[in-house]
Amino acid sequence: MSRIAYAKLTRFLRARLTPGGELGLHLTAGVILLVIAVAVFRDIAEAVTDNDDIALLDQHIAQWFNTHAFEPLTTILFGFTHLHGIVGMSIAACLLGVWFWYRHKPYWLLALATAVPGGMVLNVLLKHIYERTRPSFDEPLLTLATYSFPSGHTSGATLFYGVLASYLVTTSPSWRVRGAAMAGATLMVLLVAFSRVYLGAHFLSDVLAAMAGAAGWLAVCITSVSTLRRRRAARKDE
Cα–Cα distance, 218 to 118 (Å, whole number): 10
Cα–Cα distance, 196 to 141 (Å, whole number): 11
pLDDT (tens digit per residue) in 130-180: 999 999 888 888 888 899 999 999 999 999 999 999 999 888 888 899 999
**Is 105 domain-assigned?**
yes
At 26 the pLDDT is: 58
- For the cut 80, the answer to whether the pLDDT of residue 225 exceeds it is yes
At 17 the pLDDT is: 45
- For the cut 60, the answer to whether the pLDDT of residue 12 exceeds it is no
13-17, 62-66, 86-90, 140-144: segment of lowest average pLDDT? 13-17
**Residue 184 C-beta-side C-alpha neighbours within 13 Å:** 14
Tell me how many domains the chain contains: 1
State the CATH number of the domain containing residue 137.
1.20.144
**Is 7 domain-assigned?**
no
pLDDT (tens digit per residue) in 73-112: 999 999 999 999 999 999 999 999 999 999 999 999 999 9
5-9, 54-58, 108-112: segment of lowest average pLDDT? 5-9
pLDDT (tens digit per residue) in 167-176: 998 888 888 9
What does the DSSP assignment read for 4-20? Answer: HHHHHHHHHHHHHH-SS
**Is 102 domain-assigned?**
yes
Task: Output the pTM of the full model.
Answer: 0.86
In this structure, what is the dihedral angle of CA atoms 120, 124, 125, 126, given to the nearest 10 degrees? Answer: 100
**Is 96 domain-assigned?**
yes
**Is 8 domain-assigned?**
no
**Residue-number span of the structural domain to which 217 is assigned:** 26-230
**Is 4 domain-assigned?**
no
* Mean pLDDT, rounded, of the chain: 86
**Is 183 domain-assigned?**
yes
